[in-house]
């Protein structure tokens, strides 16, 4: 009984995560941590306060490119959960970060309708039971990253970070 948690951690850390990273073509966790610790390139322009929030459809979106790397923010996305007959919903805000110095913001704004539809489809396919599972946000992150990269036809999206996640 004492070794079960250690064995579970070992299997997850050294077997499952490397396989998942290889399948999704993600960099190892060490490389991701090093990339986040690296300072931003001096030639990247910083965005000012000129970005305005846009509202429409099931939620507003606000795109920004931070000094630490390209990203795009989805704000106040609201969807009905599957299997609840419209009685339960998910309201979330999250930031999508890009790979390397690629222009994620420009790509997302250029294909806003398509990527918003993908976001709504992924989120509205979730059931209340899906969201109550342990680690459900991590699974949802992976689904969104995979859906965006598949729709864009290349590995442009690296991670999704939730800033708001409310189930009602």
Range of the domain at 12: 1-38
Per-residue pLDDT tens for 101-127? 667 888 888 999 999 999 999 999 999
Percent composition of the chain: helix, strand, coil (DSSP 3-state, to 5): 45, 25, 30
What gap in Å lies between CA 64 and CA 103, rounded to an integer?
A: 11
Is 74 among the domain residues?
yes
How much of the chain, in percent, has pLDDT values that exceed 70? 68
What pLDDT shows up at residue 24? 61
The mean per-residue pLDDT over the stretch 18-44 comes to 50
Same domain, 130 and 154: yes
Q: What is the CATH number of the domain that holds 160?
A: 3.30.479.30
Q: Which residue has the higher pLDDT, 101 or 36?
A: 101
Question: pLDDT class for 4, splitting at 50, 70, 90?
Answer: confident
Same domain, 131 and 70: yes
What gap in Å lies between CA 126 and CA 129, rounded to an integer?
A: 8
Same domain, 68 and 3: no
How many CB atoms within 10 Å of residue 47?
13
Is 95 among the domain residues?
yes
Q: Which residue has the higher pLDDT, 77 or 47?
A: 77
Whole-angstrom CA distances from 55 to 52, 76, 95 are 10, 9, 16
Whole-angstrom CA distances from 152 to 110, 111, 114, 127 are 11, 9, 10, 26
Radius of gyration of the CA atoms of the chain, in A = 18
Same domain, 151 and 76: yes
Q: How many domains, in total, are found in the chain?
A: 2
**What average pLDDT does the chain have?**
75
What pLDDT shows up at residue 103? 79
Task: Provide CB contacts within 8 A for 107, sequence distance 6+.
Answer: 152, 156
Same domain, 67 and 25: no
90 torsion bin: left (phi>0), alpha (psi -120 to 50), beta (else): beta
What pLDDT shows up at residue 104? 84
Is 48 among the domain residues?
no
Per-residue pLDDT tens for 121-167? 999 999 999 999 999 999 999 999 999 999 988 889 999 999 999 99
The mean per-residue pLDDT over the stretch 21-39 comes to 50
Q: Which two tokens stand for residue 47?
A: 């965005």
């Amino acid at each position: 009984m004492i070794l079960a948690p250690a064995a579970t951690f070992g299997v997850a850390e050294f077997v499952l995560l490397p396989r998942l990273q290889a399948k999704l073509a993600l960099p190892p966790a060490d490389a991701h941590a090093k990339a986040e610790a690296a300072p931003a390139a001096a030639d990247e322009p910083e965005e000012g306060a000129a970005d305005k929030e846009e509202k429409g459809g099931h939620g507003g979106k606000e795109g920004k490119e931070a000094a630490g790397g390209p990203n795009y923010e989805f704000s106040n996305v609201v969807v009905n959960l599957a299997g609840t007959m419209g009685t339960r919903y998910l309201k979330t805000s999250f930031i999508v970060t890009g790979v390397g110095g690629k222009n994620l913001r420009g790509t997302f704004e250029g294909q806003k309708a398509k990527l918003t539809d993908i976001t709504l489809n992924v989120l509205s396919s979730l059931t209340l039971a899906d969201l109550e599972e342990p680690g459900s946000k991590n699974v949802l992150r992976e689904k969104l990253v995979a859906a965006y990269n598949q729709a864009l036809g290349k590995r442009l999206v690296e991670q999704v970070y939730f800033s708001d996640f409310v189930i009602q």
